[in-house]
Homo-oligomer: A and B are copies of this chain.
Amino acid sequence: MTTDKNGNLVHNQGVTAPLGFRAAGIAAGIKAKGGPDLALVFNEGPDYAAAGVFTGNKVKAAPVLWSQQVLKAGRLRAVILNSGGANACTGPLGFQDTHRTAEELATALSDWGTETGAGEIAVCSTGLIGDRLPMDKLLPAVTEIVHEMGGGMSGGTDAAHAIMTTDTVPKEASLHHPDKWNIGGMAKGAGMLAPSLATMLVVLTTDAVASAEQLDTALRRATRLTFDRLDVDGSMSTNDTVLLLANGASEVAPSQEDLDAAVFAVCDDLAGQLMADAEGVTKRVIVTVEGARGEADALTAARVIARDSLVKTAMFGSDPNWGRVLAAVGAAPVDLDPDLISVSFNGFPVCVDGTGAPGAREVDLSGADVHVLVDLRLGDGTATVRTTDLSHGYVEENSAYSS
């Protein structure tokens, strides 16, 4: 649990922490091995403002194409999410499946007493790429989950469970602002918005009064510095989606600055939870590059280091092999002078002015957290990327995923 000037972050409440949001998670039979695989987040109003950020991959899953279209109106009543299948690379029929899921949910919500159109519903999917979803199981479950959600004001944690794939724990965070409004969120995935290890799905909810434009601004500012800087393996999913819904139920309209800070705090916390639960992780590695010619160079250099397989395997082995950091940054397309570079591991200098520092080979990296700090000494550009080590567990989990 962390505290900041905007309130207290807590981890045992998520999308249903704000007023006027309901959620549910059920087992629809989509996952071959069973277990919860369908989640619903429902906005009771009075407002329905919403914003979204999506994968930068040019190969986009059907639910991403659908939700991008829906979000153009800046309005959402509900989000339906499934694990057990990505519905990506499934062609026009896969898109029809997404459309039909939204229509089915609109009908079920309308029957339940809340007039809803399919165009007010975002759809998210995660799982194996390339297979059609089992619509014979999914469609009846869409009606079932509406009834389930009807039972009470909770369900956020059930929803967080239902979107898990290789996640080992559900991820939730919420913040209660001193000005009497709230924001909450749930996340799944062991990656980031772009790039990504596994699909990252995030739904954030708030009872603040905020326009779609304000939400969009806050969401883009937050994701740029949080999910977008979580880089487990440089891969980018076809399905990554981050949604933010606001219903104004608190009747409090925060300033843009307060909204930005709260959205950032929840995103940053969820990003940390995603890193800690990444596939096969044994080390949480923070890579900071400072002294670059501008933030863009710093970020590029940090990403190159964070993605380097030789750096990541050294971290797995608790091996302070700083030469691999030099080799990685030297390959980054940024301005640098090899003779000015300094590197420290967990605050211990291992390389000064491009050459090894005394005692560098004896630095103890056996703990679970490693901070790699690289100073290029050329300017004041700084950026930080979160990553993990490259372990046997990663290879094991990813070598037989579809089979």
Contact = CB atoms under 8 A, between A and B. Distances in A.
A331 B402 contact: no
Interface string A40-61: 0000000000000000111110
Nearest to A327: B238
A310 B354 contact: no
Given A60-B338, A319-B400, A338-B59, A330 B236 contact: yes
Interface in A360-403: 360-361, 390-392, 394-396, 398-403
B400 A327 contact: no
A331 B130 contact: no
A317 B58 contact: no
Nearest to A131: B356
Interface in A314-335: 314, 316-317, 319-324, 326-331
Contacts of A328: 235
B354 A89 contact: yes
Q: Is the interface of A mostly helix, strand, loop or mixed?
A: loop
Contacts of A194: 331
Contacts of A57: 327, 330-331
B129 A323 contact: yes
Nearest to A236: B331
A237 interface: yes
Contacts of A94: 355
A317 B129 contact: no
A88 interface: yes
Interface string A212-242: 0000000000000000000001111110000
Contacts of A128: 321, 323
B314 A238 contact: no
Contact of A402 (B59, B314, B396): B314
B308 A235 contact: yes
A287 to B, nearest CB: 15
B319 A399 contact: yes
Contacts of A403: 317, 319, 321, 361
Nearest to A351: B89
B401 A321 contact: yes
A238 B325 CA distance: 11
A354 B92 CA distance: 10
Given A330-B238, A395-B316, A402-B361, A355 B59 contact: no
B58 A324 contact: no
Given A323-B88, A323-B128, A329 B398 contact: no
A154 interface: no
Interface string A116-137: 0000000000001111000000
Contacts of A195: 331
A90 interface: yes
A336 interface: yes
A86 B317 CA distance: 21
B398 A313 contact: yes
Given A308-B235, A316-B399, A323-B88, A330 B59 contact: yes
A321 B390 contact: no
A355 B61 CA distance: 11
Given A59-B338, A130-B351, A319-B400, 20 more contacts: A57-B331, A58-B330, A59-B330, A59-B354, A89-B326, A89-B355, A90-B356, A129-B323, A129-B326, A129-B327, A130-B326, A234-B307, A235-B331, A237-B327, A238-B326, A309-B309, A313-B398, A314-B398, A320-B402, A395-B395
22 contacts: A58-B336, A88-B323, A89-B338, A89-B351, A89-B355, A91-B355, A128-B323, A129-B321, A130-B351, A130-B355, A195-B331, A234-B309, A237-B327, A238-B323, A238-B330, A309-B394, A310-B398, A314-B402, A317-B401, A319-B401, A319-B403, A321-B401
